[in-house]
Chains A and B, each alone.
Chain A
Amino acid sequence: MKVRFWGVRGAFAMSGREFLRYGGNTPCVELVTDDGQRLAIDLGTGATELAKSLMGTELGKGKGELHVLLSHTHLDHIQGLPFFTPFFLEGNHISIHGVDPAGTSLEATLQNQLAPHYSPLGGLENLGAHVSVETFQPGHRLVLGPFKISTAPVPHATMWTTSFRIEADRKVVTFLSDVEYPDPLAPDPAAVALAMGADLLIHDAMHPDEEYDLRRGWGHSPVSAAITVAEAAMVKRLALFHHSPDATDDQIDRVVALAQARTKIPLFAAAEGAYLDV
Chain B
Amino acid sequence: MEITFWGVRGSYPVPGPQTVRYGGQTSCVEVRSSEGGCLVVDAGTGLRALGQKLAREGGGAPGRYHILLSHVHWDHIQGLPFFEPAYIPGTTISVYALLTAADELQQVIGGITRHEFFPVPLEAAPAHFQYHEVEPGVRMTLGEFMVLPIALNHPFGAVGYRIDCDGTSVAYVSDTAPFTDVLHKQHFLRGLETLSEDDRRTLDQIRADLVKALSRCDTVIYDTHFLPDEYARFPHYGHSTPDQALEICVEAGVRRLVLYHHAPGHGDDLMDKIAKEYAEKGEALGIEVVTSFEGMAMVIGGAP
A positions within 8 Å CB-CB of B: 9, 11-17, 19-20, 23-25, 45, 48-49, 73-75, 79-80, 82-83, 101-104, 109, 112-113, 115-123, 126, 156-159, 218-219, 245, 272
Contacts and interface: CB of A to CB of B under 8 A. Distances in A.
Contact of A118 (B13, B73, B187): B73
Contacts of B24: 13, 15-16, 24
Contact of A119 (B23, B25, B73): B73
B234 to A, nearest CB: 11
A82 B13 CA distance: 13
Task: Using C-beta atoms within 8 Å of the partner chain, give the interface range for chain B.
Answer: 35 or more
Given A12-B82, A13-B45, A116 B186 contact: yes
B13 A116 contact: no
Contacts of B15: 9, 13-16, 19, 23-25, 45
Query: Which of the listed residues B24, B72, B238 has the most CB atoms from chain A within 10 Å of its own CB?
Result: B24
Question: Interface of chain B, helix or strand or loop or mixed?
Answer: loop
B12 A120 contact: no
Given A15-B15, A20-B16, A116-B156, A123 B116 contact: no
B48 interface: yes
Nearest to A116: B156
Given A19-B15, A82-B74, A116-B186, A12 B45 contact: yes
B13 A117 contact: no
A91 to B, nearest CB: 16
Nearest to A117: B101
A122 to B, nearest CB: 4
Interface string B144-172: 00000000000110000000000000000
Which label, helix, strand, loop or mixed, suits the secondary structure of the A interface? loop
Nearest to A23: B15
A82 B20 CA distance: 24
B114 interface: yes
A31 B268 CA distance: 31
A13 B13 contact: yes
A218 B24 CA distance: 26
Nearest to B109: A117
A79 B74 CA distance: 9
B70 interface: no
